[in-house]
Structure 1
Amino acid sequence: MNQMPMTPMGVGKLLDKSFNVYRQHFGAFFLLALIWFGPFLLVQQLLLIDVSSIPLLMQDTEGLEFWEAMGEKFGGQEDLLTQNVAMMLLYAFVVAPLTMVVAYPQLIAGATFMTKSALEEQPVDLKAGLKQALGRFWPLVGSTIVYGLLAVALTIGFLLVFMLIGFLLVLATGNSIETFFDSDSTLSPFIFIVVFLFGYILFLAGIVLVPGYFLLRWSFYLPLVLFERNGIGIDKSWNLTKGNFWRLFAIYLVLSILYSIFSGGIQVAVMGIMGTSVISQIIMVVLSCLLMPWMAIVYALAYFDLRVRKDGTDLEALMSKQLDQDIDRLLAKDSGATHE
């Protein structure tokens, strides 16, 4: 049986490897996403969009100038959202949670197992990937719920601390928002805008570097639960990612940018041609399922890369410790011989 390559990958090499794996085993990964995310995305569209008010094939913009037609296609989407409160609640409290705790971990676990097979040059079997992930269904669900609760707690905690600091600063300066726009105040609206922008940038940096730091360090719990079969994996993910935060952050940043470019470009193309229609919504679901496996493969490769780096570090530490013990024994032996 072939083993995974024991060479760490940089960000560029990891992304290049993800494209190669997806290209070579496109059918299996795409079907995996269709099986787990396709139904949930379709239900989401049916619940949130008033399907009865949109055409089946293509939005009618006949007789309009080009820019007017584009404005009609892109500008009226908010009006198509359903006004049915029951459907919105059903999505918010049933479909969305099930997507996060069932579809997401099953997709990631299956893609991770299949990526492992691809790295070991073994057959990439969709059925085996589904079976392997389903065999760990409840541990994956439980770990994802714990991770989600931690994410919510960290985010709320950060928001409360940030708001408290802002409130204390306002009290310390003796000002309030009203004073920025008071005609008798020495502070101008321009200063308020500058302060607001500075606070917004500080908020974004803070939420990335505080909750984001912990969530990224904990985020590799899924493959640990899948392969090691004990615990919820969050503590082990913390140990596995030690010393790799900035490299993982770079991977996440590049991945987010590429995903935004691909998904945004696809959405603009589909909406520009077809507008809002039933078929265009189905196409968007299928295209979303095209991008999800690639992101899952990047995640899986990042995990295996961390394993290689961690195992290599542990091996070096073990060898160093063994060498120190051998030296101590030799010194003790020489000391005993001299004493005799």
Structure 2
Amino acid sequence: MQFGEILDGSFQTIRRNAASMFGSALIVQVFSAVLLGIVTVAMLQMTESLQYVESDLDMEEFLGPFLAWMAGLLGVTVLVGFLGAVLQGVLVVPVSRSVLNRRTGFKQMWKLAGRRILPLLGVSALLTFGGMLAWAAVAGIAVLLVTAMGPAALLLVFPLGLGALVVFLWIGLKLMFAPAAIVVERTGVYDGLLRSWQLTKNSWWRIFGILLVVTIMVGVIAQIVQIPVTLASEAIGTVVTPHPDAETASSAVVISTVVSMAVAALVGSVTFAFQTSVSALIYMDLRMRRDGLDMELMRLMETGADPEGIPGGPAAPLTTPPGHRPTA
């Protein structure tokens, strides 16, 4: 598949399976938005209380809630990343079925993906917490360098951070198809990671280019949608309360934040479904190039075998559904 075919296939897949793909992404995005909203409101309240800090004792009392907020923000970030990795594996089901023009309902998608939920949870946790620990190690090294060398350590910290980013990006892309391999090919956690690493061999730059262009596209579209909403909420707040007191201004900020996050959840569900669809089609394309998956898909198309399964998995028996006649 070429780049244009992957984009068109992603749009067609979402349109054909809107309930399963968009609905699942929306549930996760709304849940994430609620958690982030709680953390954001807590931050706004702490910002207001900061202006009343006048002594070291007040600062010590403020430090406890601040550390709790930082821990909450980190926890929400990790949870959102974990749920995203799980959903990436789940959404490969309607994408792979859509290659054969098979629709997938919400319940059917989760039923098919549920058979592989334990290894999918395992690889998602491994990728999420592994990445978090790697970045924590880099941050710890940077802190030690700054503590030992002072400002001169920046000459080492900057290339260290840049190098860590490159390595993290390279490894992350090499392992990004592990959830898809676990669900479609019914592998274990280790085999799924190894399978993803093998599939991306000699294709890293092509995959990176496609994902980079898609990320820029959805980022621009999301900003275009968010800017009018932000301006409208600020304008409404100015008109309704032109001279607000501190309490009213705080309420207006909270309402504006809630509205912005609601819109962000809606837009995020669409962009996440699209990006996941693109990733799943790249996975299918890699298997066509390396495993001859296109021949297997043609066999399934002609025979109609395994109509309720996931195309691309272990070979299904050649059973023909009632009323279906294979083409000559």
TM-score (norm. length: structure 2): 0.65
Q: Alpha carbons of 1:129 and 1:106: their partners in 2 closer, same or farther (altered >3 Å)?
A: farther
For structure 1, which runs of at least 5 residues remain unmatched after alignment? Answer: 1-8, 54-77, 179-194, 316-340
C-alpha displacement of 1:248 = 0.7
**Residue 109 (structure 2) aligns with:** 129
| AA aligned opposite 2:89 | A
Deviations 1:190-221 (A, max 9, x none): xxxxx97xx96x66763454232222111110
Instruction: Identify the match of residue 48 of structure 1 among 39, 44, 52.
Output: 39
Q: Alpha carbons of 1:255 and 1:161: their partners in 2 closer, same or farther (altered >3 Å)?
A: farther
Mapped to 2, the partners of 1:245 and 1:42 lie a distance apart of: 32
Deviations 1:296-330 (A, max 9, x none): 101111110111111139x9xxxxxxxxxxxxxxx
Q: Alpha carbons of 1:118 and 1:256: their partners in 2 closer, same or farther (altered >3 Å)?
A: same
Mapped to 2, the partners of 1:282 and 1:49 lie a distance apart of: 13
**Residue 58 (structure 1) aligns with:** none
**Residue 15 (structure 1) aligns with:** 7
Deviates more, 1:276-285 or 1:295-304: 276-285
C-alpha displacement of 1:135 = 2.6
Larger Rg computed on CA atoms: 1
C-alpha displacement of 1:116 = 1.1
Deviations 1:127-164 (A, max 9, x none): 11112223322211111222234434555666789999
- Indicate the RMSD between aligned Cα atoms, in angstroms: 3.8
**Residue 301 (structure 1) aligns with:** 281
Q: Does 1:224 align with 2:205?
A: no
C-alpha displacement of 1:85 = 5.4
For structure 2, which runs of at least 5 residues remain unmatched after alignment? Answer: 51-64, 235-255, 296-328
**Residue 312 (structure 2) aligns with:** none
Instruction: Identify the match of residue 274 of structure 1 among 233, 237, 245.
Output: 233
| AA aligned opposite 1:268 | I
**Residue 249 (structure 1) aligns with:** 208
Q: Secondary structure at the match of 1:243?
A: coil
Mapped to 2, the partners of 1:24 and 1:80 lie a distance apart of: 50
Q: Does 1:236 align with 2:227?
A: no
Instruction: Identify the match of residue 210 of structure 1 among 138, 145, 167.
Output: 167
Amino-acid identity (%): 24
Kept in 1: contact 2:92–2:180 (CA 8 A): yes
The alignment covers a number of residue pairs equal to 255
Deviations 1:72-114 (A, max 9, x none): xxxxxx8799x77545534433x4333333x223321221101
Comparing both chains, which one has the higher relative contact order based on Cα–Cα distances under 8 Å and sequence gaps of 6 or more? 1
Kept in 2: contact 1:47–1:87 (CA 8 A): no
Mapped to 2, the partners of 1:48 and 1:157 lie a distance apart of: 25
Q: Alpha carbons of 1:228 and 1:135: their partners in 2 closer, same or farther (altered >3 Å)?
A: same
Q: Does 1:264 align with 2:223?
A: yes
Q: Does 1:96 align with 2:55?
A: no
